[in-house]
Chain A
Amino acid sequence: MVNLFKRMRKLRSILDVTVGTGAAILPTPATSTKEFPPITRLHLTYAQKIYNGHQGARHFWRQCLPRLKYHNPSIPMTVKQTEEQDGPAALTIYFAEHASNAATLNAAKDINDKYAPAAGESEKTAVVDLRDLDWKRIWDKVRVMTGAKEVQASAKEEEEVKKLEQMAVQSVKDQERNAKIRQTKRDQERMLQEARGEVERLRQT
Chain B
Amino acid sequence: MSSYGSALPSAARSILSSCRPAARQSPMAPFLSTFYQQQLRGAKSNNPQAQGKGKKAAKAKPKKGAREFTQRDLKDIQQFSLCDAMRYIRAMEVGREPTISKYEIHIRLKTKKDGPVIRNMLRFPHSVQTESRICVVCPSGTKHEKDARAAGAVLVGEDEVFDAVKNGKIEFDRLICHPDSLAALNKAGLGRVLGPRGLMPSAKTGTVVEDVASRVEMLRGGTIYRERDAVIRIPIGQLAFSPEQLRDNLRATIDQVKKDASGLNDRIVKEIYEVVLSSTHGAGFSLNGEFKSDDSPDTTALRGV
Contacts and interface: CB of A to CB of B under 8 A. Distances in A.
Contacts of A61: 94-95
Contact of A73 (B87, B95, B229): B87
Given A14-B283, A65-B94, A66-B94, A73 B297 contact: yes
Contact of B284 (A11, A70, A73): A11
Nearest to B71: A1
A73 B301 CA distance: 6
Contact of B90 (A1, A8, A14, A73): A73
A61 B96 CA distance: 11
B266 to A, nearest CB: 27
B70 interface: yes
B: interface residue count bin: 20 to 34
Interface stretch (A75-83, A147-155, A165-173, A181-189): A75-83
State the majority secondary structure of interface residues on A.
helix
Contacts of B70: 1
Given A1-B69, A8-B77, A79 B283 contact: no
State the majority secondary structure of interface residues on B.
loop
A11 B78 contact: yes
A77 B90 CA distance: 10
A17 B88 contact: yes
A67 B305 contact: no
Report which residue of A1, A73, A74, A79 has the largest number of chain B beta carbons within 10 angstroms of its beta carbon: A73
Nearest to B231: A1
A66 B92 contact: yes
24 contacts: A4-B74, A8-B76, A8-B77, A11-B283, A11-B284, A13-B283, A14-B88, A17-B91, A17-B92, A68-B94, A69-B90, A69-B91, A69-B94, A70-B88, A73-B87, A73-B90, A74-B298, A74-B300, A77-B94, A77-B305, A78-B95, A78-B305, A79-B95, A79-B96
Interface of A: 1, 4, 7-8, 10-11, 13-14, 17, 44, 61, 65-70, 73-74, 76-79
Interface of B: 69-72, 74, 76-78, 87-88, 90-92, 94-96, 108, 229-231, 283-285, 297-298, 300-302, 304-305
